[in-house]
Amino acid sequence: MFDTRPDREAEVALVGRSNVGKSTLMREVTGHSFDTGGNPGVTRSPNHYDWAAEDFVISDLPGFGFMSGVDEEHREQIKTDIVQYLESHADDILVAILVVDGKSVIDIIDRHSGPDEIPYDVEMFHFLRDLGIPAVVAVNKMDKVDDRDERLDELCDRLGLLPPWKQWQETIAPITAKKGQISSLNEAVREHLHDQKRDDLFKFF
């Protein structure tokens, strides 16, 4: 299910929970619609988009975490597949975009924080960094958030980044994908591409 990756070296990967707007963001970045369906967990295998002449692919990995109507065993399998995919392609992934729902992410993280439990989003953020993959957290649906700066500062705090969030603009990108407001994400991604001497890929972001 996860072996559909085109034979391209450079990659930007989107990861995140179900229903945070990854597919909408993918559509916004690529200008191409993907079959997403209305139910969480519909994307069970990666969507790869390699429309460019360049040696480059954008991948939207399946959503992880709770999905209504999907049993726990299947959820764990998807998570394992994602982890293995990221591990095996870590050298080729120039940037990973971890998409979170700005409105609910703090509540979800706090609900799953405990002595034996690390919330998926926090775990994924640190996992990407441990793999040496630059991670940008795309905080989506910000049009529904009133206390914007406070919310983003809280997210930094949960991720182990010292607030204020504005000093982490290459890592924290507030966006509203549905309305096409993704310029802060594009800037963050470009910064990481530039660090890796891939300014040739700027035109996609």
Q: What domains does the chain contain, in order, with CATH numbers?
A: 10-197 (3.40.50.300)
Beta carbons of 155 and 168 less than 8 angstroms apart: no
State the Cα–Cα distance between residues 149 and 132, nearest whole angstrom. Answer: 28
Q: What is the pLDDT of residue 126?
A: 96
The tokens for 162 are 């010292």
Strand partners, 117: 114
Q: What is the pLDDT of residue 34?
A: 64
pLDDT in tens, the chain (205 residues): 577 888 888 999 999 998 899 989 998 998 877 665 555 555 577 888 887 778 899 999 988 877 777 788 888 888 899 999 999 999 999 999 999 999 999 999 999 877 777 788 999 999 999 999 999 999 999 999 999 999 999 999 999 999 999 999 999 999 999 999 999 999 999 999 999 999 999 999 9
- Sequence-separated (6 or more) residues with CB below 8 Å from residue 8: 50, 55, 56, 57, 92
Among the listed residues 198, 23, 190, 13, the one whose alpha carbon sits nearest the alpha carbon of residue 89: 13
Q: What is the pTM of this model?
A: 0.93
- What distance separates the 2 farthest-apart alpha carbons in the chain? 48
10 Å CB burial of residue 47 (0-12, 13-18, 19+) is buried
The tokens for 13 are 């990967």
The amino acid at 149: D
Among the listed residues 41, 49, 1, 3, the one whose alpha carbon sits nearest the alpha carbon of residue 20: 41
